Structure formats: structure tokens, C-alpha cells
Structure 1
């Protein structure tokens, strides 16, 4: 689950193109540093997952470590981060296939029309039930890993464009210096969003205290190494100069397939789309559950609580999720690049992906701080495991967020950190109001926002 939401193919085929305008040929270095940073940031998550296995995941960890108000803010940030994934993928699928169809067939189907197809299929599978969605996602995940790693091995086997070099694994390869590395890091971090998903299965797996932490760490390490190797192979395959010219509309892996293994062209195209769709499916399933549960608990309009009597699925919540994804994708695309140009769809993914990454990073900060405080107050504090690593992970994520505010100079990216700050302030104000007026509802609302685990929340806080 964790590995599938990270989406190895989509993260390898597309996310680097959003880093390369900033970090250029040093993008493999950025991914390597990001892998190390995420492993450190995961330390607090792993410790809390081992100590408090729960479907509430981050909400539970932060609430137990820092209190229900911080837990509510955590839930609000998670909700925003995962709600933006489906519309981001609608834009990316549309942009990628519009560019592909134009080059392969000479046709020019607008990206937004193409994006409606996966959005509709997403809703159809959700109507059929969670089993259909998960089975489809598992098949697509297996396919994408085989294709992306296979093509990377072929590129390396051919010796690349100008011979193999480790220079892309050094910071000096960045054409824009430290500023470029900092901004490129955020898009690299987007590739790791979802690694924590296994933590939400704490109530459903055997031996959760052992299995869940192991799943989180193995997912980060395995998928992270795939990223570093494949993106290093990409830079070597294209060459330094060509890599530095990439942008969000580029399709470098199509070019690599055409150059090094023409028979891989269509497998790459299929794996690219399947990976995007798998991410869309997994994220939309979570949002649907949250909307449905919030409807049942009176936190959102009651129609969202409706369950289809035949399929036993939350049909109105599914429709709301699909409609939100389509409207937001088309709105952002129309404003940022137009509905007829693939740049519009590409910008949807770039903007929303950047924004959701900035939304999830504070969650990692809060969880690591919660881990340090929880174990310090429990009397079982160990300096490295519960102090150095969690506080180090929190510091790295804070440094990244601050760096974005100070170093970012390209609009509209300069605005996005402030949008997250505003959202945090609003969530904190909402938590303060609930704490004073409806304290029991505060804990319930935070649990719902974080994981849709309302049944457990009701028992815990005595609501319902």
C-alpha cells in the first residue's frame, strides 16, 4: 500500500521534470538526499507505529504526544494533502497523453477531455467496491515497477549518452546552485508522499507492532533506491545538456525508450498512465471514506453518508470526490495554461503536487515532535531512537519549509507556502473553538480527518 501510493513509475517518469528546471542534472543527488531525509523523518513515525498501532495513524500519534488540538491540525493537513492527489493526476494523465498522441498520431486531443476518462473510471471502480480498486492498483503497481527498472537497466547497459558518470550524484551538477537544489527537493519529496500509508493499517494486520514499522521503512528504502537509480540512469541516458532543458511538459522516458529500446516505447506509455491511475485510485479511496464518515458524524452534509443499497458503496461521496477532482483540475488548468495546451494539465500537477507536498511535510514534523515528547514523558526515552532521530527528522522538514519561503523566487510557487500557513492557522483556530465549545467533537473530528476511523474514535471519546 505504501509503495503503490508513492507510485514508482509516475514519480520516476514525471516528478523529476518538475525538479530539473531548478536542480537540473543534480536531480539524482536531490533524490538521494531526499531519501536520507525521509528515512530520518520516518524514524518518529516508525517508533509511534510500533508503540501505538492504530488506523488513526498520524492523528493518533500526534494527539497522544502533543494533544488533541495538534491532532486536529494534523488531520486537516492530511485531508488537504490527499484530496489534491486525484485532481493532480487528472492533469498529468491528460497532459502526458495529449503530448504523446500529438507526437505518435499527429492528433491533438485536449488534455482535459483525456483527463475525464480516468476520472470517470476512478468513480466507476469506486462504485464497484474497494476490492475492485485495490486489485486494479496492485496489478498496475507490479507492471510499472517492471517497466521502469527494466528500461533503466537497458539505458545503463548501453552506456548512456556520453558514457556513465556519477557527476549527477553531486551537488555541483546543479545549474542553479543551492536555490535550485532547495526547490528541486520539494518535487523529490512529492515522490515519497504516501510512504506512511501502511501506518493506517495498524488495526487490520497481524503483529502490527512489528509488521507496520517494517513496511514503512522497507517501502521508503526500496522505492527510494529505485528513484535514485532510475533518475541517475535517465540523466546519463539523456546527457547533461538535454537534462537541464527538461520541464514539466517533457516526456524524457518516451525519448529514452525510442533511443535505447524502441520496443519499450508503448510499455513505457502504458506503465506511465497505469502508475498515475493507481495513485489516483488509492488516494481517492481514502478521501471517499473520509467524506462518507464525516457525513455520518454530522461534520459534513448528510447526503455524503448515503450508502448505495445494492453495491454497499458511498455513492454520493464518490461522486463528490470525482466532481471535485474534475472541477479543480479544469479550473487550475484553465487559469495556468489553458484547456487546449498540455502546459495547462502539466501545471495542474506541478502546482497541486507542490502544494500537497508542503501540506504533508508539517505532518512529518508534528509526528516526530510527538514521538520525542511521548517517549520522554513515558520514562522509556532512548537518546538516539527517541531524541536524535525524531528531532533531526523534524528539523530537516522545518528547514525545507523555511527554505522554500526564503529561497523560492518563481511565481506562483512563492505563494504556496503561505497558503499552507494560512490553512494551519485556520485549522488551529478551528481546534481552539472546538476545544472550548465541543471538546469531545474535537477528538472525533481530528480522527475522521486523519483516517476516517470514526468507530474507534467514538469509543475513545464517548461520542455517539
Structure 2
């Protein structure tokens, strides 16, 4: 049944990505795996608990609702404009080609920085684990290089092989996380079962703690929209892409709430209130409730990181391919392998970029032999990519309002109330992200994003003046999701 989801039902077009290569199941995996359920469950809640404490499961429940609201606008646009360019296409059609070009630049920051961030995290986590558990000393950069090469090889082979691999790792990590959570709950936790962590009253710092905890919890949902980049390869994209986005948010969100509730129950309220970013509560839960699962927890964490790498890489190379095809980047990015139907040049460039960025940032931020260097790669790039993706969510929901009003298909709820609410939520979250970071280099990163926006905006203006024919067709979507070589509609 799983294999059938990925079978191609008709011959691929000669010049484009492989049509009908992915079913609904594959699209769900694309979005769900990029959120990294194991990584997000094992590591991310500890950034919220210093503020929301034992109420962190309630915070994740609020996040689930907020992300669903934000996702409605993306679902509306993906149903009307199926394209590998995803947000680049949506904003180009809804606001204009210059805004679309800026969106493409922000998406590059968001998606392109995920693989190097995960290289750093995998390397540092396994370096420390191998040393403590087995006495083996390997530098994080060498460990991280292995999944980086595997990611690139899988991307060359095509979307089907990448998604099959992601499905295997995703399934394994979910089984491990849920199994340990169920064991903790079945054994009654540290102080007995309670619904208190699912209520705001469990916050040790009141409403302010809930708000700040929300800011950090939202990081666990970044990437929920990844299925949109499969718009040219998924079967029945107008139906399956929106459904995949909704299903992935709901399924992974419910998993977060249940497993983080189990975490709080397992360690106890007082201990949960003392957790911070350096804590590893799931290692402790395995040691206390199921010692035989300790190694499985390590493997699930590593596999989850790799699945994030694979799926984020799939997303960015397709965005690069569309921008190259439409003349917004050099044409070499648009080259499609005749047999595999993959953008091989984009794959190679992104693979080299990921390794170089991870190693350069790591060498500056702690050293290539010190696991701190790898963990800082994850922290620094993770914050940067979050600052890149949140404005994209805002622009997309603005595009929803303009796109459907212009076509007189406007629904007050779907194209008015929900997008406005999503805009307010994402602007508030972005402001919270900036406000909560008070130490360098995190205080510098918002200015990095501002500088990047200024640069790509200037390029967009130049294109509009000097090459309006190229800018005018940015994000153009035909029935096949293609733009012609001449830059005009077919």
C-alpha cells in the first residue's frame, strides 16, 4: 500500500519534474517529516519550559490552533496555484512579481538553512552521545558529513526515493516517541496522571510565561507547509496538497501535545518547571521507565534530524528550479535530469552550500572538533531561518486576500477573517522572537534578515526596470505548473 502511494501513473513530461509521482501519503510525509516530530519533542519543549513550565503541553495546544489558522490561507492558494515554487508563486500571483521575488529570497533563507542546521545538530548530538555511551571520539563535522552526502545522493535519485526514505525514518521515530510516551502514561508518571498540564493554570509565570513559551514552541511547527513545494509532482495537487498540509499539522500537532504532556507527567510538575535548553528529559524518561529504549531514543533523534534534512532539501531545490526556469536565477538551476526528472544542478549547489555553511559557522561558533560548534550551528541557523519564514507566512496570507478579491471569489471567513487573524498571529510571533533574544549574536540576526530583504528588493526593482519581461511572468502557473521558455504563457 505504501509503495503504491509513490507510483507514477502516467509518463512524465520531457522538460519538467516528474508528474503524478507522489500520492497524498507522500505529500503528508513531506510536511510531517520536515517538522521533525522526534527532534521537536526531544529538544524544543525545553526552550519553552523556563517560561511556561508544566503548562507547556497547553502552549503546544495553542500553537496547533494558531498554525491551523495560518495554514488555511496556504491551503487556499495551493488549491488554486499548484507549483513547485509554492510561496514564491502564491505571492507573485496575489501581490505582484516583485513581492514574489522577495518571497523567493526569504524562502531560500528558510529552507536552505535547514540542512546545514541539521548537519550541526546531528554531528554535535552524536559526538556527545558516542563519547558518553561508547567512549568513541569523532568530530561533529565528520559525523555530519555522512548524512549530508546521503541527502544529496537521495535528491539526485528523485523525489520518490527521498520520500520513501523519509517515510521509513519518520515511521521509526514516531513509533519510538509514542511508545515511550505511552509507557510513561501507563506507569502513572512521577506523581500520577493529571490534566493540569493541559490548562493555563499550570504555568509558573502566569500569562506572560504562556506567551513567551508560545514563541519558542512555534518553532516545532516550522516546515508544515513543505507539501506545497510538491505542487507539480503530486497527484491531483488541487485536492491533495491542501489536504496534506492540514493532515500533517493536525497529526503532528496532536502527537506534540500528547507526548509533551507525557513528558511533564513523567518528570513531575516541579522538575518540569526547572527544565531548560540544556536538559535531556527524554533520555531520563527512557532510563527511568524503559531502560531498553535508551538507544532507540538516540536513534530516533538522529533519524528525525536526517528526515528533516532530506525533506527541507527537496523543498529548496524545487524552489531554486522554478526560479531558474522563470529567469529569476541562472538557467543552470532549471536543468532537469532526463531520466530521474530531478533538478540535478540545484541539488548539487544546495548540497555543497549546506556543507560549507555548516562548517564555516561551526568553526567560528565553537570549533570543528567541539560539539558546541555543531550545536551553535543549529541554534544560530535555526533562529535565522525562523526570522525568514515568518514574514513569508504573513505575505502569503496578504496574497490570499488580494488574490480572491481580485477574482470576485471572496469568502469573508476563508479569505478575510482567517487570513487577517493569521497575519496578526505571525506578526506577533515574529516580534516575540526578536524581543526574547537579548544576547549577541542573536541580536544581530534580525538585521541580517533586514539587510537580505533590502538586497533582494533592490534586485527585484532592477529586474522590473531592466527586464520587465522576466519579472512579469514570475510565479506564472499553467495547468501543468510550467512557464514557457520564452517567458510567456502557453
TM-score under structure 1 normalisation?
0.88
**Distance of 1:120 and 1:206 partners within structure 2:** 29
Aligned pairs (5 A) from 1:7-406: 7-171=36-200, 173-174=202-203, 181-291=210-320, 317-406=346-435
State whether residues 232 and 480 of structure 2, in contact with CA within 8 Å, keep that contact through their aligned partners in structure 1. no
**Distance of 1:83 and 1:150 partners within structure 2:** 32
State whether residues 351 and 413 of structure 1, in contact with CA within 8 Å, keep that contact through their aligned partners in structure 2. yes
Relative distance call for 1:317 and 1:74 in structure 2 (3 A) is closer
Between 122-131 and 145-154, the greater mean CA deviation after superposition: 122-131
Offset of 1:368 from its aligned partner? Answer: 0.9
**Larger helix fraction of residues:** 1
Extract unaligned runs of 5+ from structure 2.
Answer: 1-29
**Distance of 1:413 and 1:175 partners within structure 2:** 26
Q: Secondary structure at the match of 2:225?
A: helix
**Distance of 1:296 and 1:351 partners within structure 2:** 31
1:175-226 residue CA offsets vs partner (Å, 9 max, x unmatched):
5666655554344222212221222333444443333222211111111111
Offset of 1:260 from its aligned partner? Answer: 0.7
Count of paired positions: 460
**Distance of 2:327 and 2:66 partners within structure 1:** 39
Q: Secondary structure at the match of 2:145?
A: helix
State whether residues 95 and 249 of structure 1, in contact with CA within 8 Å, keep that contact through their aligned partners in structure 2. no
Relative distance call for 1:53 and 1:319 in structure 2 (3 A) is closer
1:218-247 residue CA offsets vs partner (Å, 9 max, x unmatched):
111111111111112112212344434444
**Distance of 2:469 and 2:385 partners within structure 1:** 29
**Distance of 1:399 and 1:84 partners within structure 2:** 23
**Distance of 2:152 and 2:235 partners within structure 1:** 31
1:220-277 residue CA offsets vs partner (Å, 9 max, x unmatched):
1111111111112112212344434444444322221111111212222211111111
2:27 corresponding residue in structure 1: none
Relative distance call for 1:456 and 1:309 in structure 2 (3 A) is closer
Q: Secondary structure at the match of 1:458?
A: coil
**Distance of 1:234 and 1:360 partners within structure 2:** 29
Coordinate RMSD, CA, aligned:
3.0
1:457 corresponding residue in structure 2: 483
Between 144-153 and 318-327, the greater mean CA deviation after superposition: 318-327
Offset of 1:289 from its aligned partner? Answer: 4.1
1:394-428 residue CA offsets vs partner (Å, 9 max, x unmatched):
11101111233344323332222332222222222
Relative distance call for 1:160 and 1:104 in structure 2 (3 A) is same
Extract unaligned runs of 5+ from structure 1.
Answer: none
Between 155-164 and 24-33, the greater mean CA deviation after superposition: 24-33
**Distance of 2:340 and 2:242 partners within structure 1:** 34
Relative distance call for 1:86 and 1:380 in structure 2 (3 A) is same
1:334-365 residue CA offsets vs partner (Å, 9 max, x unmatched):
33333333232222112211211121111111
Between 191-200 and 311-320, the greater mean CA deviation after superposition: 311-320
State whether residues 295 and 304 of structure 1, in contact with CA within 8 Å, keep that contact through their aligned partners in structure 2. yes
1:437 corresponding residue in structure 2: 466
State whether residues 238 and 256 of structure 1, in contact with CA within 8 Å, keep that contact through their aligned partners in structure 2. yes
Q: Secondary structure at the match of 2:137?
A: coil
1:141-160 residue CA offsets vs partner (Å, 9 max, x unmatched):
11111111111111111121
2:442 corresponding residue in structure 1: 413
Relative distance call for 1:407 and 1:187 in structure 2 (3 A) is closer
1:307-346 residue CA offsets vs partner (Å, 9 max, x unmatched):
7799776655444323322222222223333333323222
